[in-house]
Amino acid sequence: MAVPVTYSIRNLSARKLTTLLTAGGMALVVFVFTAMQMLDAGLTKTLVQTGSSDNMLVIRKGSETEVQSGVSRQQAAVIESQQGIVRRPDGMPMVSKETVVLINLVKRGWLAVSVPSARATEKMVPSVEGEFARKRRMMGHTWPIVVRGGLVDPRGYPPRYALLIASHRVLRYLTPFLHVALLLASLRRPRMLAAQLAVLGAAAAGRGRGGLIARYYVLTTASIALGLYDWLRHGTTAGWEAAEGTR
């Protein structure tokens, strides 16, 4: 016997909290996926600026972007002593040793420009576990920027850029903690709890395309929280080796 549509509608209003949590969980997954797609286009528009073949950006070994890099004073001194470095009339090398957090440039009024022709690629990690390890190392270097670098401080952001930071970064970094909160809220709701445990079970098994997708999502989400743990427990290391399979 078919269930009347009106029954389903009344059930939604009768179980408001369950309905809200279910809708919120689904919306969170969709939003995170959409935010990642927006991030791909947003990074090109926000972080890429006009360059010159005469300029060189030096980052440490194993870093994928300047955001993750760090060069010590001794290493910078070696770089500026190289013969290929252009020197001013007074003999001083034209080298700028600066600590830069990109988000602060926008706060200071710098204009983010779009360069559609700019593209960056990297060799894919051959396994989900390798991607998890790569993202965990990356997040260990990202959390100092989030907490101490001013990323979550809204002062100085234009309204639209503040919305971009909230959606692309802050919500993304809160994802593992929101999932834990949703799991705890589902302890008295067997169906919701079963659905979440099913995803975790599929991730643990890793069988088939669905299992691999579940494992990728669970591990990459967990890497955010574990990166925070690594930073709080051990601090940010001076460098790291390239991820497995990308050397």
| Mean pLDDT for the stretch of residues 46-67 | 65
pLDDT-derived band of residue 219, with 50, 70 and 90 as boundaries?
very high
Statement: residue 45 has pLDDT above 70: no
The two structure tokens encoding residue 146 = 């989030």
> What mean pLDDT, rounded, does the chain reach?
77
- pLDDT for 229: 92
Name the 3-class secondary structure at 93. strand
With residue 16 as reference, give the H or E element that holds it: helix 16-47
Give 210 or 106, the one with higher predicted confidence.
Answer: 210
**So what's the pLDDT on residue 78?**
84
Instruction: Give the pLDDT mean for 63-75.
Output: 68
pLDDT digits (tens, 9 = 90+) for 126-178: 888 888 988 888 888 888 878 777 777 777 778 877 888 888 888 888 999 99
Quick check: 51 pLDDT over 60?
A: no
Does this model's pTM top 0.75? no
Across 78-105, b (16+ Cβ under 10 Å) vs e yields eebeeeeeeeeeeeeeebeeeeeebbee
Rounded CA-CA distance 247/237 in Å is 19
Alpha-carbon gap, residue 90 to 92, rounded angstroms: 6
Report residue 50's pLDDT band, with 50, 70 and 90 as the boundaries: very low
- The pLDDT of residue 56: 76
* pLDDT at residue 158 in the model: 80
Average pLDDT over residues 192-221: 89
- Residue 222 is predicted with a pLDDT of 94
